[in-house]
Chains A and B, each alone.
Chain A
Amino acid sequence: MLQSYRIVGAATAAIGAAAFYGGSLLPPVPGQNVGPNVFPMVTGGGLFLCGMLIALGVGRRYEQEIEADVAAHAAVHVGAQAAAQIGAQVGAQAGATPAPTQVRHGPLHALRVLVPPGLLIFYALAADSLGFVPTAAIIALTLCRALGAPWRSAVLVALLAPPAVHFAFADLLRVPLPPGLLPMPW
């Protein structure tokens, strides 16, 4: 825990120091004592200071109190989820005791978070050449599967969602979506 504070604090302070240094390099405006360098230096300095305080553990008590509060809330919430999953209202009434079965994940499980931003970058790079509909279909299919949808639903979403989004944005709102390999017939 303390280690994570040190790392987060050091990273924040490093960004602050870089901003301060980057700001100090900006040229002043001739004839004026305040230029474009002042604000980044003030902001960078503030960020550096905050980073140092985080690294020293200042404010940790607040977070521990909030975490305890959230954990107490989540314990009840998880119990209710488990109860709802077995469809038994009685289960929830009996208390928040039933713990949900813990699913074991592989070491690569955490990397799944990179799928949504990765797909957006794929859209930015491929939409012009492939066109909106094929790119959107690939995105929908990949994300559906990554979220655990069965192949049938994923293919259905990949086939139906892109033309629907195309209709809403390109036809109704006149957003110029790239036609690429598969222009819409309407």
Chain B
Amino acid sequence: MSNLTQAFALVAQPDVILAILLSSLYGMVVGALPGLTATMATALLVPVTFYLSPIAAIAAIISASAMAIFSGDIPGALLRIPGTPASAAYTDEAYAYTRKGQPEMALGIGLWFSAIGGIIGTVALLVIAPALAEFALSFSTFEYFWMACLGLMCATIVARSSPVKALASMFFGLLVSCIGIDNPGGTPRFTFGMTDLMGGVDVIAAMVGMFAVSEVMRFMLDQAPPPLPKRRFGSILANQWKLTLEFPKSWSRGSVVGIIVGVLPGAGADMAAWISYAIAKRFSREPKKFGTGHPEGLIEAGASNNSSLAGAWVPALLFGIPGDTITAIAIGVLYMKGLNPGPTLFTNNAPSMYALYFIFFIANLLMIPLGIMVIRMSSKVLRVPYSIVMPIVILCCAVGTFAITNSTFGVIVAAAFGCIGFILQRYGFPIAAMVLGIVMGTLVEQSFVASLIKSGGSILPFFNRPVALALASITLLCVAWPVIGWALQRSRRLSSAET
């Protein structure tokens, strides 16, 4: 009980409340602009969080990301251009409502069920994380090693690209994490005599480069989206309660799928929305209505993408393994603020954890009034010319990375990783897998080397403990999965050719 009181006191601080309000507004606006993702919004927010108290910093990240995921639905519904990748799965469905002259219905469903999904996700985080933390306290370096490997493998399997390229992208990330003197021998690795690289590549500067600079680079070639025609909306929340009672299976199933996808490392809100929309269509009694302005898919996918946000915090808080790209950034902030992820976080810093749950609840409730406000202002927000937004983004990248690293080298790192991110994306390498490699490289190496030293160089102890063996089996299955899938498909094709 005292933990709850302390947590409430932490959240009730004026700086935390102000951080929630301002970052929510910021997230709403950035998410509503097509092409500017929730991850980019989070990456650009990190330099600001550097100067906030730990709870205010986490509050800013949680609020901004939750709002951005919802507000990505706004241009999706009105222009058929998803604001963030998380809205892409059901953009056509939402736009079908606009074509029928009912955009407020699609936007209302997005808003209401995003909030419901977010709250269910938070309840899951509240229940799952502490229970898993107790179990994880018995983990040794062997389990941590396999846990990290499993996280990396999941990221390569769920990526919407060739598994080989996803694997290569992950190895690129691990290679970047090798740079510097933070290794078993304290030897400078891949520093090429540059003192600036001795401390390694700053993860936040690299992510600002890969998520923000590379997006601006993409905009230099792509066409800007068209302006939104002026429009007056009817009641946004009308009929939502009726839909909640009418489709309980949709929003509850969407929320559960979102939580599961969120917990899987590397798979984020976009993956959750795609899977949930497909499930909704598959199990619907009226699958033919999908794509014509039918609520089921919107409800399920809208609840799913927001519930995955909270789910992604489970592995991030417990093991320092990011559940998605947003938590990959959040882990950096947690370390920066002295809230090092791990199971002991729940025992030594319980009030902070409860505060985090409170923030999730507040952000998801605040989403409803703020969402209505942004929807009503959408014709103004979506009219901001990109030729004005992008220079401000680049200025924030420059000043932000300088603020984090306190050196102009950080700005060069952001520029370099912007180019790397742009090139990798152009050639079909998923950058989320690379980010996971960079973030988890140190954890993988430390647990790998510590385990090898403990075992005297023998590989057998990696499989001796039951949990380690189970994790190792799942990891190896993940490695073999693309090959198994290929072999199965080939044998099926051969047998059908014979008949």
Contacts and interface: CB of A to CB of B under 8 A. Distances in A.
B385 interface: yes
Interface in B198-255: 213, 216-221, 223-226, 228-229
Interface in B71-117: 79-81, 88, 92, 95, 98-99
Interface string B391-402: 110111111101
Contacts of A38: 448-449, 452
A53 B217 CA distance: 29
A54 B424 CA distance: 14
B369 interface: no
B161 interface: yes
Contacts of A140: 391-392, 395
Contacts of B419: 117
Nearest to B88: A73
B29 interface: no
B396 A165 contact: yes
Main DSSP-derived SS at the A contact region: helix
B81 A43 contact: no
Contact of A113 (B161, B163, B221): B221
A34 B453 contact: yes
A123 B80 contact: no
Chain B's interface size range is 35 or more
A77 B171 contact: no
Interface residues of A, number: 85
Interface string B166-197: 01100110110010000111110110000000
Nearest to B486: A61
B164 A54 contact: yes
B171 A161 contact: no
A113 B395 contact: no
B448 to A, nearest CB: 7
Contact of A120 (B190, B221, B397): B397
Given A77-B81, A114-B217, 10 more contacts: A29-B184, A32-B184, A39-B183, A116-B213, A124-B408, A132-B399, A140-B392, A153-B387, A173-B51, A177-B402
Interface of A: 4, 8, 12, 15-16, 19, 22-23, 26-29, 32-36, 38-40, 43-44, 46-47, 50-51, 53-54, 58-60, 62-63, 66, 73, 76-77, 80-81, 84-85, 87, 89, 92-93, 100, 103, 109-110, 112-121, 123-125, 127-128, 132, 136, 139-140, 143-144, 146-149, 153-154, 157, 161-162, 165, 169, 173-175, 177
